[in-house]
Amino acid sequence: MKKKLAFILIAFIAAGQLHAVSFYAGADLMSLDSLINRNIFIRGEAGMRSEDVRISVGAGYFRCDDADLKVSAVTSSLSFDCHPFMPLGFYVGATLIGHTWFFGPDAPEEESRFGTSIRAGWTFDLMKHLSLDLRVSVHDPSLKEEGIPQLGTYRFAFLVLYRTGADNKE
C-alpha cells in the first residue's frame, strides 16, 4: 500500500511540472443540509486535470444520529474522470478505489468495506479560479444496507472547486 501511495505522490509531483496540468480542491455544498439535520455529511475532493482527463482523491465523513441508529463512517476514494466533450463540461468517470470504515455503537461487524462507483456530471467554469461541479454517482448498494441514508446507491454532489494552473481563464 505504501508503494501505491508513493507512486501516486510521485505522479502528482511529476504532473506538476507539465504546463497543461491544473490542480483543484473543493467541498461538496450538499453538506449544508447537515446544519439543519441531525445526520452529518461532509465531503471534499482534490485532484489534478490535464486536458480531458481528471484524477481526484476524495474524503468524507458521515454520521447517522437517529434514535434507533448511531453509526459513523469515514470514506476515501481515488477516482478517474474523462471529459469527452471538453467545451461542454460534461464528464463520465469511475472510482478506482473506494474505502469506507464504519464505527460507533451500531457499526456493522464488518467495519471496513471496499467498493466502486460510476459517475457523470458537468463542470461549469465561473471565474478564473472558481468552478461548480454537479454530479450524480451510482455506488455499491451494499453500503446502503448499513443504515446510513447518505451512503445510498445514488448520490448527488454539488462541488465548489478552487483551481489553479493551466486551464484558468485569463
Predicted confidence (pLDDT) per residue in 31-46, tens digit: 776 667 777 888 999 9
Tell me the pairing of strands 70-85 and 90-103: antiparallel
Give strand pairing partners of 27. 44, 160
Instruction: Give pLDDT tens digits for 93-119.
Output: 999 888 989 888 888 888 888 888 999
At 10 the three-state DSSP class reads helix
Beta strand 40-50 pairing with 154-165:
unpaired
The answer on pLDDT for 169 being more than 50 is: no
Q: Rounded to two decimals, what is the model's pTM?
A: 0.76
Residue 170: pLDDT band by 50, 70, 90 thresholds? very low
Q: What contacts 18, CB < 8 A, 6 or more positions away?
A: 50, 166
Q: Check residue 38 and report its DSSP letter.
A: S
Nearest to 106 by CA among 71, 59, 57: 71
Furthest C-alpha separation in the chain: 53
Are 74 and 43 spatial neighbours (Cβ–Cβ below 8 Å)? no
**Per-residue pLDDT, 129:** 87
Q: What would you report as the CA-atom Rg of the chain, rounded to the nearest whole angstrom?
A: 17
What digits encode the pLDDT tens for the residues 127-137? Answer: 888 989 999 99
φ, ψ dihedrals at 49, nearest 5°: -135, 135
